[in-house]
């Protein structure tokens, strides 16, 4: 079976992302989390720090690897012989954007397929942008992100 890649910006990674990683690591033989970096965007947390955070989050999942990638996700898939892009979908509004993104990726490379895994109901609210805003207002995010992420956000927003 083909390697599955799970791309995203993960800025920050949430318990919802972790749930997808755990479930996908059970379903698929090999999973690679790809932190997609757009050099023209400003991120809340530097890519290197997100890489470290996610590595800590998945350290017990033996078939999961984490990398950063600057470029088109389909090019990473092509280069590393992955055929499946995995995306978590939380709700209808997510799906709209995701559907379009999957069609663009299909147009760029016909061989690579996108599959969607629905987010667990417990994690519906965990949009990274909302978590950044909560952290800035010192809202309690301990149920929303893994401990390593919570500590980093608290340091950052002091």
Contact flag: residue 61 with its own copies (CB under 8 A): no
Tokens of 155: 């340091």
List 46, 103, 151, 154, residue binding its own copies (CB under 8 A): 103
Tokens of 138: 């010192």
CA distances from 68 to 28, 52, 125 (A): 21, 11, 25
| Annotated catalytic residue, options 59, 128, 142, 158 | 128
Contact 119, 16 (CB under 8 A): yes
Query: Sign of the CA dihedral 122, 50, 47, 81?
Result: negative
CA distances from 60 to 21, 32, 68 (A): 11, 14, 20
Scan residues 108-147 and list those touching its own copies (CB under 8 A). 108, 113-118, 120-122, 124-125, 127, 130, 133-134, 136-137, 139-140, 143-144
Contact footprint for its own copies (CB under 8 A): 1-2, 23, 26-29, 38, 40, 71-72, 83-84, 89, 91-93, 95-97, 99-100, 102-104, 106-108, 113-118, 120-122, 124-125, 127, 130, 133-134, 136-137, 139-140, 143-144
Catalytic amino acids? Answer: 17, 41, 90, 128
């Amino acid at each position: 079976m083909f390697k599955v890649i799970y791309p995203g910006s993960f800025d920050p990674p949430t318990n919802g992302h972790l749930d997808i990683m755990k479930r996908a690591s059970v379903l698929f033989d090999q999973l690679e989390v790809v932190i997609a970096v757009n050099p023209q965007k400003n991120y809340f947390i530097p890519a290197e720090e997100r890489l470290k955070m996610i590595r800590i989050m998945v350290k017990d999942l033996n078939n999961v690897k984490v990398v950063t990638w600057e470029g088109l996700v389909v090019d990473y898939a092509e280069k590393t012989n992955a055929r499946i892009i995995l995306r978590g979908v939380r709700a209808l509004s997510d799906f709209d954007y995701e559907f379009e993104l999957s069609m663009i990726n299909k147009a760029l490379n016909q061989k690579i397929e996108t599959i969607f895994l629905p987010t667990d109901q417990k994690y519906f609210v965990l949009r990274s942008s909302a978590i950044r805003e909560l952290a800035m207002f010192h809202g309690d995010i301990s149920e929303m992100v893994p401990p390593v992420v919570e500590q980093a956000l608290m340091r950052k927003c002091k």
